[in-house]
A and B are shown apart, each in its own frame.
Chain A
Amino acid sequence: MLVPFAQFVLKVHSRCDLACDHCYVYEHADTSWRGRPRAIGEAVIDQAAHRIAEHALAHRLPAVHVVLHGGEPLLAGPARLRRVAEQLRARLPADCALDLRIHTNGVRLDEEFCELFRELGIKVGISLDGDRAANDRHRRFADGRSSHSRVLAAVELLRTPRYRALYAGLLCTIDIENDPVAVLDALLELDPPKIDFLLPHATWDAPPPRRGEEAPYADWLLTVHRRWQRLGSPVPVRTFDSIVRTLGGRSSLTESLGLDPADLVVIETDGTFEQADSLKTAYDGAPATGFDVFANSLDEVARHPGMMARQSGLAGLSEQCRACPVVRSCGGGLYAHRWRTGAGFDNPSVFCGDLMRLITTIRDRVAPVQPAAAGPGTGLTEGQLDQLARGYGDGATVRALAAGQLDLTRRLLAAVGPAAGPAWELLAELDTEAPAAVDAVLTHPYVRAWAVRCLGDGTGAADLAPLAEIAAAAALRAGRSTEVAVPVRGGAVHLPTLGRLLVGGGGTSRPKAGGGTAVLCGGAAAFTVRAPGGAEFRVAHDQPADERWLPVRRVELPGGWTVALEDLDPHRDSHQWPAEQRLTGAELADWTGSLREAWELAQRDLPQYAAGIAAGLNTITPLRPGPSGRDVSAAARQAFGAVGIARPATAPILALLLVHEFQHVKLGAVLDFHDLFDRADPRLFDAPWRADKRPLEGLFQGTYAHLAVTEFWATRVRAYDGLRGEAADHAREQLARWRGHTDRAIDTLLGCGALTPLGERFGHGMRASLDRPPAPRAGGAARPSGPAQPAPLPSPSGAPPSGLPA
C-alpha cells in the first residue's frame, strides 16, 4: 500500500546565518548543500506547489503540512516566502487544509516577518537550546558571538498579543553537559505552546558523547521529565507525550519514536526530492532519491525503496528491535540514528540504551496506581496460549478468553453507561448486589457491539436506550421487584438474553425512534410490563411463547453446550450478512435437528474444537440464506460468543461453519489483548483463498480459520477411508486444497517480518497442527456422521465466506 505524503519540508534557503557546530545540515556527513542554490527559485516554488496539490487531489488528502525550512529559511526573504504560501494556497484543492509553518533560528525574526506570517497564516517554531549558557554552547555566529539575545527578542515578539497565535513552540537539542532543569526552566519561562527535545544526531559510526555513562541521554531527559511532572506538565512536550501515547497504543507525535509510517518528504532548493532530513547525518548523499519536482510525481517518490523502508513499521526494523519489549513506543528510534557502515540501517538506534531506559521509566512513572485501574487482560496461562497458538483451546482456555471479554464489555459499558442516568445507577447497584445476574446479561455478545457503536457515534447523541434494557434484564435475573423504566421500540419491550414482549403502540425498532417508555416490574413468579398507554402485561416465568411473549430460545445439547438461537436482539445485525427474522416453529425444529447432528459430529470428529465451542459459543444468530444458495456465515470482532450462520443444507456443513467461525471468535479475543503482529503494517498480502490481497489481520484470521477447515476435511477423508464415490473424492479434493492454502498462508505469515514473538508462536503452532493433526478420539469416528452413508457436501467453496476480513 502506498502511504501518501502529507508532510512536506520545503527547503527555501540552503545556508545559515549561524554556525552551530551540532547542525546536521552542514556539520555532518552529507555535503550536498555545497552544490545547491542558496535560495529556492520561483520555478521550483511553483512546481513544488503543483506537485503537492496534484498529490493532495489524487489521494483526497484532508490536509497537508508544509514546513518552510533551511538552512535558515528567513534568509529566503519575504518575497519568496510569500510566493510559497500564495502558490500553495492557490493550487491546493479547496477541501484540503494547509498547515503552513516555518522553523527558524529566530535571529532575523522581526516585525516585518511577523506581519507577513500573520497575513499568510504561517506559524513559527524556534530553535533554542535552553538558558544562555546552554544555548551558547553550540548556537553561535560564525565569529563566535552568542545568538541568545537575538533569539529571545524574536520569542518576545511572538509572545505579544498581536503575534501570539503564530507561536508554534520551541525546539531544543540536547547536550548532556547542559543542566536539564535550567534548560527546562528557561524554555518554560518563554511560555511556549509546545516544546520538544531532540537527541543530537549521531550514528554507530559517529556515536554521541557519553562521558562514560550508560544512558546519559535518558537520565538527562528523565530529570527534565521529573521536573516537568512536578510542575504539573505545564506545556505539552512532544517526546514525553509520544511515549505515553504509544504506550497506550495510540500514534506517536514524532518521527523519532513509534512505528507509524513516515509520510514525509523533503524538497531541496533545487527541486530535488529527498528522504528524511536527518539522514544527512548518516553518510554523504544518504537522503538522495534521484527524483525532482520537474521530472517526477510524489507518487513516484513514495514508491522509492528508502521511503518504503520507513513505512513498513515493525517489519522494517532490525531483529533486535523486533524482539524488543518497548518497540511499539521506541520504533527503533530515528531512522538516521540506526546507521552503521556495512550494516546500513538494520540496527537498533545508537541511542538504544537511552531509549529503553527513557521509555520504561516513563512507563513506570505514569502507570496507574489505583487497583481499580488494573488493566484489562485475558489472564491466559502459557499453556493456554500454546493451545490457542495451535488453533485449539479447551474449555478452561475458552472460559479464560470469555472472562477477559466480560471484563472488556464491563469497561466499555462503564465508558458509555454513566450518561444513561437512572438506568446506569440501577445497573451499578445491581452490580454489587447481584453480580452474577448482571454478568449473565453482559456476557450477551451484542452488548459489546452496542457499546462500541455508542463510542464510535462521536455525535454525543448515542442511543443509550439499550442500557435500560440491560438493567431491566439484570433486575429480573436478580429477582428484583422494583419498577424499571424501559423503552418501547417497534411496539416491543426488548430484554436482552430473555426475550421480547410485544406491547403494541408506536415506535420503530430503529435506534432513537421514540416509542415511549414502559414500566417493568419483576417478581417471584412473573414480571409485569405497563405499556405507555396503560395496558398491563404479565409474563409468568414458566410461560411458553405466545403471540405477545417471544422468549429467547436455547438449544441444550449433549456435553454441556447450551446455545441461544438469537432472532430477536436489535443489535444482532452485527455481521456481514443480514440477520434472519424470528424463526417459525418449523424453522426452529430444522435448526435444532441440524445442530444436534452437527454437534454430534463435531464432538466426535473434532473434539479439540468442540470443547472450546461448548465453553464459549453462547449465541448463534440465524442469517438470511446467501445469494444463489451460497453458504453464508460470519463472526464479528465486536460480538464475542456469537456466530451468524444461514442454516446450510447438511449437518456436516453446519459443523464446518461452526468450527470455522468460532476460530475467528477465539482469535479475535486473543487479538483484543495481545499483539500478534504489527497492527500498523500497511502492506497487503496474497491470501491463497482469495483473489484480492489482504491486510495482515485478515490473513492471520483466515489462516487460523482454515486450519480448522483443513482438519474438518481430514476427518471426512479418514471417514471415507477406502471408500470411493463422488463424496469421498470431494472430501479428498477439499483436504488437498485447504491444506495447501493454509500451508502457504502460514509461510507468508512467518516470512512477513511483522510478527511479534507471540505471533511467531501462533505461526509455528498452526504449522505444527497442520503437520500433525491430533489423532481422532479413541473409539471415535472412523465413519462420517449422520445417515448410514455420508451425506454429500455440496459446498461450492468448501469453506464459507466469513464476516471477518479473512
Chain B
Amino acid sequence: MTTVLTVEPAEHTGPQTDTRIPLDQLAALGAAELTAALYRALPGEESGQVPVAAFNSSI
C-alpha cells in the first residue's frame, strides 16, 4: 500500500505512443476536427433522434 505522495512521472509503467503529437499541435487542429475523428469514442447525440438522410429528389 502506498499512502505517501508519489510524484514521479511513472515513466516505466505509462503507455507509450509511437507518434506522440504535442498538445499544442493537436489543439491547432481545432475542436471540430479533433472530435470528428473520435466519433466512435464519443457518446452519441442525446436527442434520441436517429440521424436520417434527406429525400433524394428535392433539395
Q: A: which residues have CB within 8 A of B?
A: 3, 6-7, 9, 24, 62, 65, 67, 69, 101, 103, 125, 168-171, 194-196, 198, 238, 242, 248-258, 260-264, 276-278, 334, 368, 371-376, 379, 399-400, 402-403, 405-408, 410-418, 424, 427-428, 431-432, 434-440, 443, 452, 455-456, 476-479, 498-499, 522, 539-545, 549, 551, 553-556, 562, 588, 592, 637-638, 671-675, 679-680, 682
Contact = CB atoms under 8 A, between A and B. Distances in A.
Interface in B45-59: 46-47, 49-59
Contacts of A456: 43, 46
A205 B23 CA distance: 55
A592 B56 CA distance: 62
Interface of B: 1-11, 13-31, 33-43, 46-47, 49-59
A788 B18 CA distance: 48
B23 A249 contact: no
Contact of B29 (A7, A252, A373, A379): A373
Contacts of A562: 2, 13
Nearest to A588: B1
Contact of A498 (B5, B17, B31): B5
A418 B54 contact: no
27 contacts: A6-B52, A7-B52, A7-B55, A125-B59, A198-B56, A238-B54, A249-B39, A250-B39, A253-B53, A255-B54, A260-B50, A373-B29, A399-B16, A403-B16, A414-B23, A432-B22, A440-B9, A440-B10, A440-B14, A456-B43, A539-B5, A542-B4, A543-B4, A551-B2, A672-B38, A673-B41, A675-B40
A555 B2 CA distance: 6
B15 A258 contact: no
B7 A476 contact: yes
B1 A261 contact: no
Given A432-B22, A592-B1, A680 B50 contact: yes
B53 A242 contact: yes
Contacts of A438: 23
Contacts of A549: 5
Contacts of B10: 436, 440, 443, 477
Grouping DSSP codes into helix (H, G, I), strand (E, B) and loop, the A interface class, with mixed when no group exceeds half, is mixed
B52 A399 contact: no
B19 A171 contact: no
Contacts of B43: 452, 456, 637-638
Given A249-B36, A452-B42, A414 B27 contact: yes
B33 A373 contact: yes
A477 B8 contact: yes
Given A428-B27, A437-B9, A414 B53 contact: no
A125 B57 CA distance: 10
Nearest to B31: A415
Contacts of A103: 57-59
A414 B9 contact: no
Contact of B54 (A254, A374, A424, A479): A254
Given A375-B37, A414-B34, A278 B57 contact: yes
B23 A427 contact: yes
A638 B44 CA distance: 12
A542 B8 CA distance: 12
Contacts of B9: 434, 436-437, 439-440, 477-478
Contacts of A198: 56-57
